[in-house]
Chains A and B, each alone.
Chain A
């Protein structure tokens, strides 16, 4: 899923200063699962904003809407009947959703209420961790399911580096060294000889380095 974090309240309230009719938009997909921008988080943020503004003597009208997805046009379209009743959209969807709503409704300003952080997994209830960077050229077959691009701070392909101490990355003591994990996995599977294969320089043009990416399936286009 795409993982996000709610922005600090002061930042949100500062963005909303000029506005009094707010459409607060959530998303039922990734940001619901990572508890950053689902219906529950929308309700809590709306309540917080209402309380703050009421206390300041500048009450706001907030409509809380959580779309099935903010990244598909058919759901974004459902905002049409009422979006013009508001001064601004405050979106708790990921960066994709925030932009997509803005693209559809050109006369509206869509403000972000979250910082979109990474593609990750739920390690345990309330703990999410990064697993993929969308580099566009997956190497998980070579590293037996542990991504060196994402989980190594340097994205090394022939690791570990000298900063790996006792299986821990020097960047953060809570981060396991990805290459230690990969070597352990090779051992576990009796495939340690694979570690001796030198990986060539990666072609990063399939990643962000090649600019914004697009995927087209002609057979599905209408």
Chain B
């Protein structure tokens, strides 16, 4: 397809979004990420049955924690799409980049500088 998407998106591969825990999201922000986007399979299509559903619940919990500590829960988003939807992935990457750009940089980085 040779689709392009913003170069600032760093991809971390996991076997299933069910592998993603709240602490991984928190660590991303501690390490300076401006936003985290979880991209899981379509609901009902999980190879492990409920991995993506669990991930969504964890994203909701992470949002609460990030709101509490002032980073902002809006910086974490979960999307569901199939591995055949390259176009949609590129579009999500663009959307997410735009959204985070509007929110500004991770407040931890601004405090350091």
Say yes or no for A141: interface residue by CB 8 A criterion.
no
Q: Is the interface of B mostly helix, strand, loop or mixed?
A: helix
Report B-chain residues with C-beta under 8 Å of the C-beta of A49: 69
A to B CB contacts below 8 Å, 22 in the list = A10-B68, A43-B23, A44-B26, A44-B65, A47-B26, A47-B29, A47-B30, A48-B26, A48-B65, A51-B26, A51-B29, A51-B69, A51-B70, A51-B71, A51-B108, A52-B69, A54-B111, A55-B69, A55-B70, A55-B71, A55-B111, A57-B111
Please tell me if A50 contacts chain B, counting CB pairs below 8 Å: yes
Q: Interface digits, B10-33 against A, CB 8 Å rule (1 contact, 0 not)?
A: 000000000001110011011000
Q: In the complex, what residues of A have CB within 8 A of residue B65's CB?
A: 9, 44, 48
Which residues of chain A are near B30, meaning CB under 8 Å?
A: 47, 50-51, 54
Q: How far is the CA of A57 from the CA of B112 in the complex (A)?
A: 7
Bitwise interface map of A from 28 to 66 toward B, beta carbon under 8 Å scored 1, else 0:
000000000000100110011111101111000000000
Q: Do the beta carbons of B23 and A40 come within 8 Å of each other?
A: yes
* Least distance between B91 CB and chain A CB atoms (Å): 30
B68 engages A48 (CB within 8 Å): yes
Counting chain A residues whose Cβ lies within 8 A of the other chain, the interface size class is: 10 to 19
Given contacts A51-B29, A55-B71, 13 further A-B contacts (CB under 8 A): A9-B68, A9-B69, A40-B23, A44-B26, A47-B27, A49-B69, A51-B30, A51-B66, A52-B70, A54-B111, A55-B69, A56-B70, A56-B111
CB distance from B56 to the nearest CB of A (A): 15
**Which residues of B line the A interface, CB within 8 A?**
21-23, 26-27, 29-30, 65-66, 68-71, 107-108, 111-112
CB–CB A55/B107 < 8 A: yes
Complex CA gap A43/B21 in Å reads: 11
Which residues in A have their C-beta under 8 angstroms from that of B21?
A: 40
**Chain B residues with Cβ under 8 A from A10's Cβ?**
68
The answer to whether B108 and A55 have CB atoms under 8 Å apart is: yes
Question: What CA separation (Å) do A76 and B27 show in the bound complex?
Answer: 29
Residue of B nearest to A56 (CB): B111
Binding site for B on A (CB under 8 A): 9-10, 40, 43-44, 47-52, 54-57
B39 → chain A, closest Cβ, in Å?
22
Q: Which residues of B contact A50 (CB under 8 A)?
A: 30
Instruction: Give the CA-CA distance A44 to B66 in the complex, in Å.
Output: 11
Asked if A44 and B108 make an inter-chain contact with CB atoms under 8 angstroms apart, the answer reads: no
Chain A residues near B27 (CB, 8 Å)?
47
Question: Contact partner of B22 among A44, A51, A52, CB < 8 A?
Answer: A44
Bound Cα distance A93, B9 (Å): 39
Residues of B within 8 A of A55 (CB): 69-71, 107-108, 111
Cα A56 to Cα B69 in complex, Å, equals 10
B85 to chain A, nearest CB (A): 32
Q: Which residue, B30, B68, B69, has most C-beta atoms of chain A within 10 A?
A: B69
Chain B residues positioned under 8 Å from A40 (CB to CB): 21, 23
In the bound assembly, the distance between CA atoms of A56 and B107 in angstroms comes to: 9
**Which of A9, A48, A50 lies at the interface centre, i.e. has the most chain B CB atoms within 10 A of its CB?**
A48
CB of A26 to closest CB in B, whole Å: 13
Q: How far is the CA of A160 from the CA of B69 in the complex (A)?
A: 46
